[in-house]
A and B are shown apart, each in its own frame.
Chain A
Amino acid sequence: MSRATLGWLALFVAGLAFPLMAGNDYHLTVMSTAYIYAIATIGLNLITGYTGQFNLAHAGFMAVGAYTVGILTVDHQVPFWVAFALSGFVTAALGAAVGAVSLRLKGHYFSIFTLCVGYIMFLVIEKWESLTHGTVGIIGIPGPSPIGPLVFDTPRALYYLVFFFLVLGIFVMRRIVNSLMGRSFMAIRNSDALAEALGIRLMRTKLLAFVLSVFYAGLAGGLYAGFVRFLGPGVAAVEHTFDMTMYMLVGGLGTLLGPLLGSISVPWITQYLQFLQEYRFLVFGPILVLLVIFVPHGIVGSWLGWRARRASQAAEPAAAAQRTTAPLKAVPSVSTGGQRHA
């Protein structure tokens, strides 16, 4: 068993044991919410971190998933789990449509376009009252209905439910990024011209990454609706995309562990700095700036880079010295080698 697998197992056990350590239900709720955002952030990381297309509409897609569940269960009495399953697919379908237009744009244009898409989603949710209940929001969303003997009526049960989906999401993502498909995503991030020369079909591959990414956002949104049981247009606020961007960056863009660590640790810091709640961006804004200047690869990215440099220095000092003097790429070069990574 590799060290990475062992590390993941340790994390899994810690997650399982968390309710035993948590002091109260409030802690469970904070952690469950963090997991829901972690699922969405892991999805965002696929398109932004691995494929290099900086998406700024992610919170909008999460809101689409959430509203799918809200509207279907409250207005059309669809069972929760059916609505939940649909939340992923509805969001993915919308993602395919948005991606078909936006992914033809390169670099900055794509980001700006998705920023606009994010605002459109917020505005549509706010204005389309007959469908989304406008600013009033959707109240009384039924929680996850029982599956056989499993009943999700306590914070602890809900915690394990969300935890299950997080683990599933990470597992699937690990398979994706370590597959040939994942490699082509990273090839596009590093150089789309080169990727194309290697025979990767650019548009189709980017679209696939985007659709998979928003599928995660949709499911996270669906879970969110069932967990919080209330929805307002605020879910789609672009600030949430910025939050997720920060989670991703704190941990490390284009790493599997990074977004997870970021999305769990940052909300806890916010929880303990209560006075920050309203002004969290007064602190987080400068942190984002300092991170991109001084720790561009995040915690996990920097660690992987340090480990890779140490390993290569041990192997071939001369070549390594040459490599470290080369200018750093903004995307972690460590994840572009052939090795499987954490």
Chain B
Amino acid sequence: MDLFLQQVLNGLTLGGIYSLVALGLTLVYGILHVPNFAHGAFYMAGAFISFHLMSKYGANYWLAMAGSAVAVAALATLAERLVFHPLRHASGLHPMIAAIGMLLFLEAGAQAIWGADFHRMQTPYTGIIDFAGVTAPVQRLLIIGAAFALMVLLHLFLRRTVTGSTIVAMAQNRDGASLVGIDANRVAMMTFAISGVLAAVAATLYAPINLVYPAMGHLVITKAFVIIILGGMGSVPGAIVGGLIIGFAESFGAFYISTDYKDIIAFALLVLILSFRPQGLFAKGAH
């Protein structure tokens, strides 16, 4: 039973991180209808910037996270302006290729600046809490707490503020949104900025229990894509539920099936589900 609870904890940790990354992707998809393959590079950049702020400037963990969130938000907004905005009338293939170009550039850039080596990020929260036979590293609890707090915040922002509502409105109906005077450019930039913040925070939360390296975004981003296919592209609750499903599948799969193949579990689940339900689990209409 303790081992089972341990897996629940792991599942929540992974699920929280995946959900944050998938949320950024799904918001951008909802607004621009572009799968932003470069989102994984934003995630990677977030980890490196935090790492840099901490190791070079001795910044405190939370300060580094804030700094990285601002920097990646700026990076994402810049990407929207320079790459996606000029391509807003292009059809499916081209924005995707541009996103890949951006991904390759950012990864090579990180490698040029910080090298191809693996780095370990320090965290002030190294303690372990023992509770009813379940050992929980503080950093993991922090991830769960922070990730879900951020999701609640995002939900409140989208539902309760006027600015948030413009994002929802534009995701639901682009033409309708512009008819009522919503500035599409401003909303697109803001959405990219939010997705950048989510990626940077997720990366800074997760990096201390993982490693920091240029290709670190690959697996996370592909899993985030699996999540938003499962959850329905553009759906916020879908991204959260999807993230948890994949998080749990992975932590239980690693434990009960095989650690070697844990990264494949998410994909296997995707193939299985799509074979029966090509439109994803929660998608309402056709895509």
- Hey, which chain B residues are within 8 Å of A104, CB to CB? 274, 278
Asked if A91 is at the interface (CB within 8 A of a chain B CB), the reply is: no
Q: A119-B218, A123-B264 are in contact. Are A107 and B104 (CB under 8 A)?
A: no
Q: A127-B261, A242-B100, A281-B107 are in contact. Are A330 and B93 (CB under 8 A)?
A: yes
Asked if B35 is at the interface (CB within 8 A of a chain A CB), the reply is: yes
Min CB distance B107 to A, Å, is: 7
Please determine whether B104 and A116 come into contact, CB atoms closer than 8 angstroms: no
- Hey, which chain B residues are within 8 Å of A116, CB to CB? 222, 225-226, 267, 270
Provide the main secondary structure of the chain A interface: helix
Asked if B97 is at the interface (CB within 8 A of a chain A CB), the reply is: yes
Asked if A321 is at the interface (CB within 8 A of a chain B CB), the reply is: no
Please determine whether A282 and B108 come into contact, CB atoms closer than 8 angstroms: yes
Please determine whether B101 and A119 come into contact, CB atoms closer than 8 angstroms: no
Partner of A292, one of B98, B108, B112, B270: B98
Asked if B109 is at the interface (CB within 8 A of a chain A CB), the reply is: yes
Please determine whether B270 and A289 come into contact, CB atoms closer than 8 angstroms: no
- Hey, which chain B residues are within 8 Å of A115, CB to CB? 37, 222, 225
Asked if A327 is at the interface (CB within 8 A of a chain B CB), the reply is: yes
Asked if B155 is at the interface (CB within 8 A of a chain A CB), the reply is: no
Please determine whether A108 and B100 come into contact, CB atoms closer than 8 angstroms: no
Q: How far is the CA of A58 from the CA of B70 in the complex (A)?
A: 36
Please determine whether B35 and A112 come into contact, CB atoms closer than 8 angstroms: yes
Min CB distance B169 to A, Å, is: 22
User: Residues 28-64 of chain A: 1 if any B CB is under 8 Å from the residue's CB, otherwise 0?
Assistant: 0000000000000000000010001010000000000
Q: How far is the CA of A282 from the CA of B260 in the complex (A)?
A: 32
Which residue of B is nearest A101, CB measured?
Answer: B275
- Hey, which chain A residues are within 8 Å of B14, CB to CB? none
Q: How far is the CA of A106 from the CA of B219 in the complex (A)?
A: 23
- Hey, which chain A residues are within 8 Å of B218, CB to CB? 119, 238
Please determine whether B101 and A285 come into contact, CB atoms closer than 8 angstroms: yes
Asked if A68 is at the interface (CB within 8 A of a chain B CB), the reply is: no
Asked if A279 is at the interface (CB within 8 A of a chain B CB), the reply is: yes
Min CB distance A289 to B, Å, is: 4
- Hey, which chain A residues are within 8 Å of B219, CB to CB? 119
Asked if A218 is at the interface (CB within 8 A of a chain B CB), the reply is: no
Please determine whether A119 and B96 come into contact, CB atoms closer than 8 angstroms: no
Partner of B92, one of A249, A278, A330: A330
Partner of A331, one of B37, B91, B103, B112: B91
Name, among B82, B101, B112, B270, the residue most crowded by chain A CB atoms within 10 Å (CB to CB).
Answer: B101
Q: A242-B100, A281-B104 are in contact. Are A253 and B274 (CB under 8 A)?
A: no
Interface bin, chain A: 35 or more
Asked if A286 is at the interface (CB within 8 A of a chain B CB), the reply is: yes
Asked if A329 is at the interface (CB within 8 A of a chain B CB), the reply is: yes
Residues 246 to 300 of chain A near chain B (Cβ within 8 Å): 249, 253, 278-282, 284-289, 291-293, 296
Q: How far is the CA of A331 from the CA of B90 in the complex (A)?
A: 9
Asked if A105 is at the interface (CB within 8 A of a chain B CB), the reply is: yes
Q: How far is the CA of A109 from the CA of B274 in the complex (A)?
A: 10
Asked if B60 is at the interface (CB within 8 A of a chain A CB), the reply is: no
Asked if A320 is at the interface (CB within 8 A of a chain B CB), the reply is: no
Please determine whether A279 and B267 come into contact, CB atoms closer than 8 angstroms: no
- Hey, which chain B residues are within 8 Å of A293, CB to CB? 83, 86-87, 98
User: Residues 151-184 of chain A: 1 if any B CB is under 8 Å from the residue's CB, otherwise 0?
Assistant: 0000000000000000000000000000000000
Min CB distance A164 to B, Å, is: 32
- Hey, which chain B residues are within 8 Å of A111, CB to CB? 35, 96
Asked if B94 is at the interface (CB within 8 A of a chain A CB), the reply is: yes
Please determine whether B105 and A281 come into contact, CB atoms closer than 8 angstroms: yes
Q: How far is the CA of A278 from the CA of B264 in the complex (A)?
A: 28
Min CB distance B71 to A, Å, is: 19
- Hey, which chain B residues are within 8 Å of A291, CB to CB? 97, 101
Q: A282-B109, A288-B101, A293-B87 are in contact. Are A124 and B278 (CB under 8 A)?
A: no
- Hey, which chain A residues are within 8 Å of B111, CB to CB? 278-279
Partner of A124, one of B92, B104, B222, B264: B264
Q: A281-B105, A293-B98 are in contact. Are A107 and B287 (CB under 8 A)?
A: yes
Q: A54-B92, A293-B86, A330-B90 are in contact. Are A119 and B267 (CB under 8 A)?
A: yes
Asked if B233 is at the interface (CB within 8 A of a chain A CB), the reply is: yes
Asked if A81 is at the interface (CB within 8 A of a chain B CB), the reply is: no
- Hey, which chain B residues are within 8 Å of A330, CB to CB? 90-94
Please list the residues of chain A having a beta carbon within 8 angstroms of any beta carbon in chain B.
Answer: 48, 52, 54, 101, 104-109, 111-113, 115-117, 119-120, 123-124, 127, 238-239, 242, 245, 249, 253, 278-282, 284-289, 291-293, 296, 327, 329-331
27 CB-based A-B contacts, threshold 8 Å: A48-B93, A52-B93, A54-B93, A105-B274, A105-B278, A108-B33, A108-B96, A109-B229, A111-B35, A116-B226, A119-B222, A120-B267, A238-B218, A239-B104, A242-B100, A249-B97, A278-B116, A280-B108, A282-B112, A285-B101, A285-B105, A286-B101, A288-B100, A292-B97, A292-B101, A327-B89, A330-B91
Please list the residues of chain B having a beta carbon within 8 angstroms of any beta carbon in chain A.
Answer: 33-35, 37, 82-83, 86-87, 89-98, 100-109, 111-112, 116, 218-219, 222, 225-226, 229, 233, 260-261, 263-264, 267-268, 270-271, 274-275, 278, 287
